[in-house]
Amino acid sequence: MSSQTYTAQDFKSDQYVRWCPGCGDFAILNSIYKAMAELGVDPSQTAVISGIGCSSRLTYYMNTYGFHTIHGRAAAVATGVKAANPALTVWQFTGDGDCLAIGGNHFIHAVRRNIDINIVLHNNEIYGLTKGQYSPTSQKGLVTKSSPFGTIERPFRPAELAFGARGTFFARTIDVDTKTSADVMLLAAKHKGTSVVEVLQNCVIFNDGVHKELSSKEFRAERTILLKHGEPMLFGKENEKGLMLDGFNLKVVTLGENGITEKDILVHDATTEDSTMHLKLAIMTGPDFPVAMGVIRDFTTATYNDELVEQIEQVQAKSKIKNFADLLNSLDSWEI
């Protein structure tokens, strides 16, 4: 990291931002500007990689190195960038279709390898750029151009994919909550390993209001819970509700009822290796449970790129070949 102080403006390119008016991508873009500025990594030491889709236009709006790749291949390219130049801070911006459909295999293996990249998944539960087909996260029954009678497929839950691939960092936020988004992205960037941030995002054209039950200021406090490591799992307008265990399951309780106090509420531990509780929190849905926001999992272990560098150094130390000339002289030769 640089000792220099940066502002959001330092990370803005000179390109006109082209998204539909009201698109959630605008809010995500502003959040990442703020997070990068606070992170303090020079733009010349930052790379932004994207695939195909509305979200993937974000690369053009960054005053950093960038690569707008092909559909679904952003994770593969980001992995290559980080492996080739471990000093770079590498971000991947992707949509639910780009990341979890054609890019699904690359996504789970990037997470499995724990390569030190930051994946920001824009989840509007629809294909926007290609005009409104259902995506891998579209809810069952959704009527779209490619499912005129309602999709009969069960959707992916990104957290389950990330945890199934033994992911070490998973967080969730919503586009309209730019402060939480910036805070979460900053923590994701500081995490050593693959970080996955799911941003629940609105598509005003093809899936307008998909997350309105959570994005509304009137109901957000009652329908979401902002998790913070080391703090009790409280939510509600007055933090009057919380989460407890009922056997192996979570349950919602109200402080003051049945003698329940804050001491009875579960305390969030994002750093534990066991992901059982993290998964329970990540898959909570309404109306019975609040949807978890913030950093759900933040476990630290060895990263792919660190182990790759270490392995290369170990092999080089044992090898008699130190340069290209040594290599040539090690081969069989003939005089003619």
pLDDT of residue 2: 60
pLDDT of residue 4: 86
Distance CA 204, CA 181 (A): 20
Instruction: State mean pLDDT over 249-264.
Output: 96
Q: Is the pLDDT of residue 36 over 90?
A: yes
In b/e form, how buried is each residue of 119-142, taking b as 16+ CB within 10 angstroms?
Answer: bbbbbbbbbbebebbbbbbbeeeb
Over the stretch 51-85, which tens digit does the pLDDT of each residue have? 999 999 999 999 999 999 999 999 999 999 999 99
Instruction: State mean pLDDT over 190-209.
Output: 97
What proportion of the chain, given as a percentage, has pLDDT over 70?
Answer: 99
pTM beyond 0.85, yes or no: yes
Residues 6+ apart with CB under 8 A from 150: 140, 141, 142, 143
Topology (CATH) of 8-215 = Rossmann fold (3.40.50)
Domain boundaries, given as residue ranges, for the chain:
8-215
DSSP 8-state symbol, 90: E
| Angle, helix 74-84 to helix 304-318, in steps of 10 degrees | 40
Residue 280, beta-bridge partner list = none
pLDDT of residue 208: 96
The region that residue 297 occupies, defined by phi over 0 for left and psi between -120 and 50 for alpha, beta otherwise, is: beta
DSSP 8-state symbol, 155: P
Using 50, 70 and 90 to split pLDDT, how confident is the model at 334? confident
pLDDT of residue 335: 84
pLDDT of residue 246: 95
State how far the alpha carbon of 70 is from the alpha carbons of 56, 78, 102, 142, in Å: 10, 12, 10, 27
DSSP 8-state symbol, 49: E
Q: Is the pLDDT of residue 1 over 60?
A: no
Please answer whether residues 48 and 82 qualify as being in contact, where contact means their C-beta atoms are separated by less than 8 angstroms: no
| Angle, helix 178-190 to helix 24-39, in steps of 10 degrees | 50
Rg (CA), the chain: 22
Distance CA 90, CA 66 (A): 9
Over the stretch 276-288, which tens digit does the pLDDT of each residue have? 999 999 999 999 9
pLDDT of residue 103: 96
Dihedral angle, C-alpha 239, 240, 244, 250, nearest 10 °: -80
Instruction: State mean pLDDT over 316-326.
Output: 90
Q: Is the pLDDT of residue 204 over 60?
A: yes
Over the stretch 288-320, which tens digit does the pLDDT of each residue have? 999 999 999 999 999 999 999 999 999 999 998
Three-state secondary structure call for residue 28: helix
pLDDT of residue 333: 81
Distance CA 134, CA 118 (A): 26
Q: Is the pLDDT of residue 47 over 70?
A: yes
Average pLDDT, the chain: 96
Candidates 155, 85, 158, 71; CA nearest to 116 is 85
pLDDT of residue 151: 97
Candidates 36, 41, 213, 211; CA nearest to 120 is 36
Please answer whether residues 142 and 151 qualify as being in contact, where contact means their C-beta atoms are separated by less than 8 angstroms: yes
Q: Is the pLDDT of residue 168 over 90?
A: yes
pLDDT of residue 336: 83
Please answer whether residues 202 and 175 qualify as being in contact, where contact means their C-beta atoms are separated by less than 8 angstroms: yes
